[in-house]
């Protein structure tokens, strides 16, 4: 059966939100939806506007990596936000999106968890990555762009990442309507963002996040540039830092900018 259309009109019909993704820009090909959303921001586009592409010629991952996905396989989207809170709070929005994407995957009946801070993981393999970028002008947030790439109908993965990545289709053998996947993420995100706005921290989302956290209560390895160490992960605090208890009982709050965290036996 041919896949449902994936375009601006079909996306707009699928998304049932108040503001997240109510304006949709769709392109068959773009450099990067994050870059596009930033350009749209400079042209005055509104809070909640969405840039979606079928193909990215210069898709960006975290840490300067590339993000590539074949036509028809993925949801690649970036939401433009114009929050009026302090710039130092914006990195928490990455966690808000990570939680939302994980919840959306679960709403499709697939058990998902979150590899701190924001990779969505199924069967111990990454299914979704998130890249947040921000611009600050005169001490205030000009825009935050949160890019989200979800492996949906990818049927095979390059050999070098086959043990670390997966897709919804590879997990269940089914083909998914990408409009619905995108809509579920945005619906979860809108609700979670509004919870975040109430307290300007993760107080109201912490419990949901920690319930989905991979390696909760288990030993993780913290790859700190000043020296790697191991400890037991006890979830995030209301700022999104990962609480890790070392063998000597010392409790460390690990910030996402500084380090990455691994399970002991796999990518997760």
Contact between residue 112 and residue 185 where contact means Cβ atoms under 8 Å apart: no
CA angle, corner 213, sides to 113 and 242, nearest 5? Answer: 145
Contact between residue 123 and residue 169 where contact means Cβ atoms under 8 Å apart: no
Phi then psi for residue 104, to 5 deg, are -65, -40
Hey, which residues does 246 pair with through a beta bridge? Answer: 231
Q: Return the residue of 13, 18, 42, 65 that touches ligand BTN, per CB under 6 A.
A: 65
Q: Return the residue of 14, 24, 25, 32 that touches ligand BTN, per CB under 6 A.
A: 32
Q: Return the residue of 61, 91, 191, 263 that touches ligand BTN, per CB under 6 A.
A: 61
Q: Which is nearer to ligand BTN, 54 or 241 (CB)?
A: 54
- Taking CB under 6 A as the rule, does residue 141 contact ligand BTN? no
- Taking CB under 6 A as the rule, does residue 178 contact ligand BTN? no
Q: Which is nearer to ligand BTN, 60 or 184 (CB)?
A: 60
- Taking CB under 6 A as the rule, does residue 67 contact ligand BTN? yes
Q: Return the residue of 41, 56, 73, 167 that touches ligand BTN, per CB under 6 A.
A: 56
Containing H/E element for 121?
strand 119-122
- Taking CB under 6 A as the rule, does residue 111 contact ligand BTN? no
Report the SS3 class of residue 10.
helix
DSSP string for residues in 54-90 = EEESS-B-GGG-B----TTSEEEEEEEE---S-GGGT
Q: How far apart are the C-alpha atoms of 152 and 72, rounded to whole Å?
A: 9
- Taking CB under 6 A as the rule, does residue 34 contact ligand BTN? yes
Question: Of 28-36, 79-87, 191-199, 245-253, which segment contacts ligand BTN by CB under 6 A?
Answer: 28-36
- Taking CB under 6 A as the rule, does residue 38 contact ligand BTN? no
- Taking CB under 6 A as the rule, does residue 149 contact ligand BTN? yes
Q: Is the peptide bond before 223 cis (omega within 30 degrees of 0)?
A: no
Question: Of 2-10, 26-34, 86-94, 107-115, which segment contacts ligand BTN by CB under 6 A?
Answer: 26-34
Helix-helix angle 178-199:91-107, to 10 degrees: 140
The alpha carbon of residue 86 and the mean position of all alpha carbons in its chain are separated, in whole angstroms, by: 21
Q: Which is nearer to ligand BTN, 56 or 179 (CB)?
A: 56
The alpha carbon of residue 54 and the mean position of all alpha carbons in its chain are separated, in whole angstroms, by: 18
Residue nearest ligand BTN (C-beta atom):
129
* Structure tokens that stand for 182 in this block: 């995108």
- Taking CB under 6 A as the rule, does residue 129 contact ligand BTN? yes
CA dist list (Å): 265 to 45, 206, 218: 44, 26, 12
- C-beta of 1: minimal distance to ligand BTN in Å? 26
Residues in 84-103 that interact with ligand BTN by CB under 6 A: none
- C-beta of 62: minimal distance to ligand BTN in Å? 4
- Taking CB under 6 A as the rule, does residue 33 contact ligand BTN? yes
* Site residues for ligand BTN per CB under 6 A: 32-34, 56, 59-62, 65, 67, 76-78, 129-131, 147-149
């Amino acid at each position: 059966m041919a896949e449902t259309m994936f375009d601006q009109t079909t996306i707009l019909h699928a998304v049932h939100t108040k503001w997240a993704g109510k304006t949709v820009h769709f392109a068959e090909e773009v450099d990067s939806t994050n870059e596009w959303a930033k350009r749209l921001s400079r042209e005055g586009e509104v809070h909640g506007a969405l840039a979606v592409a079928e193909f990215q010629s210069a898709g960006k991952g975290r840490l300067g990596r590339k993000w590539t996905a074949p036509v028809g396989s993925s949801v690649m989207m970036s939401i433009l936000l114009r929050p009026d809170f302090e710039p130092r709070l914006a990195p928490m929005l990455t966690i808000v999106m990570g939680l939302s994407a994980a919840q959306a995957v679960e709403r499709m009946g697939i058990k998902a968890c979150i590899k701190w801070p924001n990779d969505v993981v199924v069967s111990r393999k990454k299914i979704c990555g998130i890249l947040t970028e921000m611009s600050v002008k005169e001490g205030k947030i000009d825009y935050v762009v949160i890019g989200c790439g979800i492996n949906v109908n990818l049927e095979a993965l390059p050999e070098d990442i086959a043990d670390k990545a997966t897709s919804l289709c590879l997990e269940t053998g089914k083909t998914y309507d990408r409009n619905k996947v995108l809509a579920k993420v945005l619906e979860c995100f809108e609700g979670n963002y509004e919870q975040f706005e109430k307290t300007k921290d993760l107080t109201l989302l912490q419990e949901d996040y920690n319930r989905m956290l991979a390696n909760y209560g288990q030993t993780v390895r913290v790859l700190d540039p000043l020296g790697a160490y191991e400890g037991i992960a006890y979830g995030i605090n209301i700022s999104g830092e990962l609480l890790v208890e070392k063998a000597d009982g010392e409790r460390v709050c690990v910030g996402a900018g500084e380090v990455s965290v691994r399970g002991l036996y796999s990518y997760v």
